[in-house]
Structure 1
Amino acid sequence: MSSNERRMQAGIEAVRKGGAHALDLFRRRKDLVIEKKGRQDLVSRADRETETIIREHIAALFPEDGFLGEEFGASGAKDRMWIIDPIDGTANYLAGLDYWGVLLAYVENGKPTLAFTYDPNRDELWTAEAGKGAFLNGQRIRCAPTAQADEATMALSFNFKLDPPIYTNMLEAAIRKGMDHRRLGSSALKLGYVADGRFDACVSMLTNAWDVVPGLLLVKEAGGCVTDFTKDGHPYDQPRPAAACAPGIRDVIEEVTGLTLDG
């Protein structure tokens, strides 16, 4: 078994294990103490414990690998690094809304190599390996064939660190093109839905690597177009805009966002 095959197996085990723990606490969330990290930025022990479970599972199998996680930051090697968002959609999670996911990506020499997005509530697991396609519960997936803006639905995220007109101007431009939109609260699941054709695009005008790096690889491997998070030397530990879409609407997404997508 190759190192990537072993890491793929380990990643699947880790997100399922972490997801099971997060789901158990979700069902008992009234026992959780909610803390505030920033404006509309919440956290609980569910986030920290889930990230710990994922880190410990991976570290036991690959002690030479490093990590970048939302809750515990960076540690270890950067040329072989796992990026973790233990609960993407924490506000939904703590409010009792079952739209949240567990995110994991393996990055080697700066390039996303493996991606894992797990929705414990629906037992949906998206996986991808660079150059080998994207899968949902083991079945190959592709982006939607949508080619007209007025037939497309775009999923959105908003970050309170963003100047609001950047978001509202982008949204107005998309609406004027005839695009519909949704804002559901988990970039992880929305990008999974772009990869499997449920949405046509996902846009965040400011986001962190742990929110989108796994999903961007999923969409790319499903035949879609995506932004490059580390383009121009941008580091993984600093936020920036990100977008992904079905190939037929690449031009309109670039126009309304001002971003450049590859695909």
Structure 2
Amino acid sequence: MSSVLSPSVAYRLEAARAVVSDAARLAMSMRPPSGGPVATQKSAQDWLTETDGAVEAFIAERMKTLFPDDGFQGEEEGVVRAGALRWVVDPIDGTSNYARGRNRWCVSLGLLEGDEPVAGVIEAPALGEVYTALRGHGAFLNGRRIQASSVKDPASAMIEMGWSNRVPKDVFIEKTDAIMGLGAMPRSGGSGALALADVACGRLDGYVEIVINLWDVAAALPLLAEAGACVSPFLKTGGLTGAATILAAAPHIARPLSEAVNIPLE
């Protein structure tokens, strides 16, 4: 992986921050009130709101205007443009939370240079939080540098296990049981992007999800790398073109967690 980024990538990150900020305000203006889900159910516990399409279309149009030669991929519309630099957006990550008026959701926009994640922005407007990362230049939460947890004992760790209806129940139970077997405290918050961001800033010591997509993780991968977290080779194991497994963890507990849940780090 090259350690040298062109100035244009740093400029793109600044532009992306502004675009995501505007998109987050749009999402907040459309947020349903607290209560039962205001959404369409695509499949069991897989939700789609009007906001998902509106936010993705907004970001797609803005990025096309700003960077017409860049590629673009969204959760809802797929790959709509190809380019050496490719933006990957999840318009609302944590839709099940968003649809019920809860606060744990975000707008996520990552940038890949070829097959390498180089920059990312994650904004959780209901939480008042903005994560940014630029390869080789650090990871930040609301402008303050972040780093992964220093926890050394898995029995002191807090691990989130992401749920998907594409994972057999017995597999989910097996992995969760393995996490608890380490003595770790299991959690599940409903947003893969924010869980990975939590690993990057030390709020979580690890995150595991058996089936997750590129748009869920594209913005978080630079955060994790810059914050010193250990991450399984998501992109090399199918994540560039389809769903794949991810494990992200604080460096001192990454190996025992990897062995417990049988997800290799290399």
Q: Could you tell me which runs of 5 or more consecutive residues in structure 2 were left unpaired when the two chains were aligned.
A: 1-5
Cα gap change, 1:70 to 1:146, in 2 (>3 Å):
same
State how far apart, in whole Å, the 1-side matches of 2:116 and 2:28 are.
30
| SS of equivalent to 1:253 | helix
The number of aligned residues is 260
Q: For residues 171-193 of structure 1, give each alpha carbon's deviation from its aligned partner in whole angstroms, at most 9, with x where no partner exists.
A: 11111110101101011111111
Q: For residues 97-117 of structure 1, give each alpha carbon's deviation from its aligned partner in whole angstroms, at most 9, with x where no partner exists.
A: 111111110001111010111
Give the alignment's Cα RMSD to 1 decimal: 1.7
- In the TM superposition, structure 1's runs of 4+ consecutive aligned residues that sit over 4 Å from their partners are 27-30
2:68 to 49, 63, 67: 63
Cα gap change, 1:145 to 1:207, in 2 (>3 Å):
same
TM-score (norm 2): 0.93
Map of 1:72 onto structure 2: 77
Give the AA of the match of 2:8. Answer: S
State how far apart, in whole Å, the 1-side matches of 2:170 and 2:34 are.
35
Give the AA of the match of 1:163. Answer: P
* CA-CA distance at 1:216 after TM superposition: 2.5
* 1:14 and 2:19 matched: yes
Map of 1:247 onto structure 2: 251
Map of 1:115 onto structure 2: 120
Q: For residues 162-213 of structure 1, give each alpha carbon's deviation from its aligned partner in whole angstroms, at most 9, with x where no partner exists.
A: 1222211111111111010110101111111111111101110111111122
* CA-CA distance at 1:5 after TM superposition: 1.8
TM-score (norm 1): 0.94
Map of 2:53 onto structure 1: 48
Q: For residues 121-172 of structure 1, give each alpha carbon's deviation from its aligned partner in whole angstroms, at most 9, with x where no partner exists.
A: 1221111111221111111111110010100000121110112222111111
Map of 2:206 onto structure 1: 201
Give the AA of the match of 1:79. Answer: A
1:238 to 239, 242, 247: 242
- What is the correspondence of 1:86-97 to structure 2 with a 5 Å cutoff? 86-97=91-102
